[in-house]
């Protein structure tokens, strides 16, 4: 099948690479010429395990190509996936300007029947908007259909999630149109759900909002545990073994960040309001999440005393492990608040140092390793739970620090082990390990 994927971010590039790997002829289009030139040269614009190898293999086999010419790509293709950015506005409303611009260009270039697929995360009703924009920009009336096919990939495991998804959701106007997508996804042999178009659009937001609610819920429980002397890790295990609840997304910490959960939660709140419903539950989820960084920074301030002239090593900058994505990363707010309180910052991330340097003040000193960042520090703030940090030589780390003090924002270490190693250790929802 001839496929066009518009947008070469996480969703578009991974989607294009996987469809090419399944034997389709895929053309990925982006209006950023520098990005397309880099992709043609074999340089990935994002860090994602396994992506570079898959892209290179399919480019070499001539199943995958990159272009800035959307019109030619539309005419070449049978199915067009829209996978452009849908960033939030200040109000929380989703900015659909990129989707609308692509839809207009598709309409102008359309020369025969096409299936246009919304892969971008968009609020309910966008499918009808895309249909209206395409129709309005057609030079002559041509039949086409719009389908919703939301993505559920996680950065850091995007290839695996695309090849082996829990479910494939296809929102289509008719069964016949849905079968085009069913045929495309059939080689994956994964469960498929065929719905009407609005239901598919709601499924994506409802799924992300529910997972965000689990995160905020366990963080609220962590606050209770800290006040009561309980251990949120044990509470989480006791809850998560109930199959109705499950362990996933039930880890206390600094809350959710990244490019999806924050904007999707805000967008669903805004959509609900537009439709006449005050989503109070979800507003509380967002409010609890906003408090998490301040909670950690207050913990640091109470233990260290005045932060003026104190050096804090921040370990982990990307919003989650196995990605270099800094969008809505908790590290940015942690560092901003610590610097506002007078602290000096040393920082390190296994892959996101480069992206972080473009976002953080020049006064932040970047280490070449966790040990380099920790040298001479009064404390460590662990922000992102990279596996590399799980296996640090903690005795070596303690010897490098001015004071063996760790604030673990992701509960990466066991308190009893930190006690044996001579650390003063603070984590989320658990009793602190205090100096003897």
pLDDT at residue number 155: 85
Looking at the structure, tell me whether residues 159 and 230 fall in a common domain.
no
**Is residue 435 in a domain?**
no
Among 195, 219, 241, identify where a domain stops.
Answer: 195
Q: How confident is the model at residue 145 (pLDDT cuts 50, 70, 90)?
A: very high
Q: How confident is the model at residue 133 (pLDDT cuts 50, 70, 90)?
A: very high
**Is residue 431 in a domain?**
no
pLDDT of 436 strictly over 80 = no
Q: Any idea what the CATH number is for the domain that residue 190 is in?
A: 3.40.50.720
Looking at the structure, tell me whether residues 176 and 323 fall in a common domain.
no
Residue range 256-261: average pLDDT? 90
Residue range 14-24: average pLDDT? 96
Determine contact, residues 217/287, Cβ cutoff 8 Å.
no
**260 catalytically annotated:** yes
Q: Which of 4, 28, 225, 260 is catalytic?
A: 260
What is the chain's mean pLDDT, rounded? 96
Domain containing residue 112: 2-195
Residue range 271-278: average pLDDT? 96
Among 249, 264, 290, identify where a domain stops.
Answer: 290
Looking at the structure, tell me whether residues 113 and 137 fall in a common domain.
yes
pLDDT at residue number 154: 87
pLDDT of 142 strictly over 80 = yes
Q: How confident is the model at residue 159 (pLDDT cuts 50, 70, 90)?
A: very high
Q: How far is CA 241 from each of CA 244, 250, 296, 412, rounded to the nearest angstrom? A: 8, 11, 28, 20
**Is residue 159 in a domain?**
yes
**Is residue 336 in a domain?**
yes
SS3 sequence of the chain: CEEEEECCCHHHHHHHHHHHHCCCEEEEECCCHHHHHHHHCCCCCCCCCCHHHHHHHHHHCCCEEEECCHHHHHHHCCEEEECCCCCECCCCCECCHHHHHHHHHHHHHCCCCEEEEECCCCCCCHHHHHHHHHHHHCCCCCCEEEEECCCCCCCCCHHHHHHCCCCEEEECCCHHHHHHHHHHHHHHCCCEEEECHHHHHHHHHHHHHHHHHHHHHHHHHHHHHHHHCCCHHHHHHHHHCCCCCCCCCCCCCCCCCCCCHHHHHHHHHHHHHHCCCCCHHHHHHHHHHHCHHHHHHHHHHHHHCCCCCCEEEEECCCCCCCCCCCCCCHHHHHHHHHHHCCCEEEEECCCCHHHHHCCCCCCCEECCCHHHHHCCCCEEEECCCCHHHHCCCHHHHHHHCCCCEEEECCCCCCHHHHHHCCCEEECCCCCCECCC
Looking at the structure, tell me whether residues 297 and 265 fall in a common domain.
no
Q: Any idea what the CATH number is for the domain that residue 231 is in?
A: 1.10.1040.10
Looking at the structure, tell me whether residues 62 and 183 fall in a common domain.
yes
Counted domains in the chain: 3
SS3 sequence of 191-239: CEEEECHHHHHHHHHHHHHHHHHHHHHHHHHHHHHHHHCCCHHHHHHHH
Query: In angstroms, rounded to a whole number, what is the distance separating the alpha carbons of residues 48 and 50?
Result: 6
For the chain, the straight-line distance linking the first and the last C-alpha, in angstroms and rounded, comes to 68
Cβ-count burial of 398 within 10 angstroms (0-12 exposed, 13-18 middle, 19+ buried)?
A: middle
pLDDT digits (tens, 9 = 90+) for 166-177: 999 999 999 999
Q: How confident is the model at residue 384 (pLDDT cuts 50, 70, 90)?
A: very high
pLDDT of 356 strictly over 80 = yes
pLDDT at residue number 208: 96
Looking at the structure, tell me whether residues 56 and 158 fall in a common domain.
yes
Looking at the structure, tell me whether residues 162 and 243 fall in a common domain.
no
pTM value is: 0.91
pLDDT digits (tens, 9 = 90+) for 360-381: 999 999 999 999 999 999 999 9
Query: In angstroms, rounded to a whole number, what is the distance separating the alpha carbons of residues 252 and 230?
Result: 13
**Is residue 355 in a domain?**
yes
Q: How confident is the model at residue 318 (pLDDT cuts 50, 70, 90)?
A: very high
Looking at the structure, tell me whether residues 190 and 44 fall in a common domain.
yes
pLDDT at residue number 203: 97
Among 262, 290, 318, identify where a domain stops.
Answer: 290
Looking at the structure, tell me whether residues 9 and 147 fall in a common domain.
yes
**Is residue 434 in a domain?**
no
pLDDT of 415 strictly over 90 = yes
Query: In angstroms, rounded to a whole number, what is the distance separating the alpha carbons of residues 280 and 44?
Result: 41
Looking at the structure, tell me whether residues 225 and 175 fall in a common domain.
no
Q: How confident is the model at residue 259 (pLDDT cuts 50, 70, 90)?
A: confident
User: Of 415, 419, 348, 423, whose CA–CA distance to 388 is shortest?
Assistant: 348
Residue range 55-65: average pLDDT? 96
pLDDT at residue number 156: 85
Looking at the structure, tell me whether residues 172 and 306 fall in a common domain.
no
Looking at the structure, tell me whether residues 316 and 418 fall in a common domain.
yes
**Is residue 321 in a domain?**
yes
**Is residue 117 in a domain?**
yes
pLDDT at residue number 344: 97
């Amino acid at each position: 099948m001839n496929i066009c994927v518009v947008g070469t971010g996480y969703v578009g590039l991974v989607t294009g690479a996987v469809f090419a790997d399944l034997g389709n002829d895929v053309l990925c289009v982006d209006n950023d010429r520098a990005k397309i030139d880099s992709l043609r040269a074999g340089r990935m614009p994002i860090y994602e395990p396994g992506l570079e190898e898959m892209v290179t293999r399919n480019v070499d086999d001539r199943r995958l190509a990159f272009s800035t010419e959307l019109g030619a790509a539309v005419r070449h293709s049978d199915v067009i996936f829209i996978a452009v950015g849908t960033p939030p506005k200040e109000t929380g409303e989703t900015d659909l300007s990129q989707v609308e611009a692509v839809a207009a260009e598709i309409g102008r270039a359309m020369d025969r029947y096409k299936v246009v697929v919304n892969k971008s995360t968009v609020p309910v009703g966008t499918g009808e908007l895309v249909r209206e924009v395409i129709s309005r920009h057609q030079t002559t009336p041509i039949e086409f259909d719009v389908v919703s096919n939301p993505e559920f990939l996680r950065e850091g495991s995007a290839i695996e999630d695309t090849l082996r998804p829990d479910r494939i959701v296809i929102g289509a106007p008719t069964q016949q149109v849905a079968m085009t997508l069913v045929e495309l996804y059939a080689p994956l042999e994964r469960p498929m759900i065929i719905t009407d178009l609005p239901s598919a659009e709601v499924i994506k937001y409802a799924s992300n909002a529910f997972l965000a609610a689990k995160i905020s819920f366990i963080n609220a429980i962590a606050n209770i545990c800290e006040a009561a002397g309980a251990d949120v890790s044990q509470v989480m295990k006791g809850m998560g073994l109930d199959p109705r609840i499950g362990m996933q997304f039930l880890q206390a910490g600094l809350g959710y960040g990244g490019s999806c959960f924050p904007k999707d939660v805000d967008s669903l709140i805004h959509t609900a309001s537009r439709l006449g419903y005050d989503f109070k539950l979800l507003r509380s989820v967002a409010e609890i999440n906003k408090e998490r960084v301040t909670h950690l920074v207050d913990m640091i301030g109470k233990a260290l005393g005045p932060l003026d002239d104190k050096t804090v090593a921040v370990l982990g900058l990307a919003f989650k492990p196995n990605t270099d994505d800094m969008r809505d990363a908790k590290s940015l707010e942690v560092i901003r608040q610590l610097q506002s309180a007078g602290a000096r910052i040393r920082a390190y991330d296994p892959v996101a140092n480069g992206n972080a340097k473009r976002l953080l003040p020049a006064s932040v000193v970047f280490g070449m390793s966790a040990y380099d960042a920790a040298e001479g520090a009064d404390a460590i703030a662990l922000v992102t739970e990279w596996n590399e940090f799980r296996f640090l030589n903690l005795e070596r780390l303690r010897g490098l620090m001015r004071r063996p003090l760790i604030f673990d924002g992701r509960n990466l270490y066991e308190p009893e082990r930190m006690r044996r190693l001579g650390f003063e250790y603070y984590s989320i929802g658990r009793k602190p390990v205090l100096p003897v």
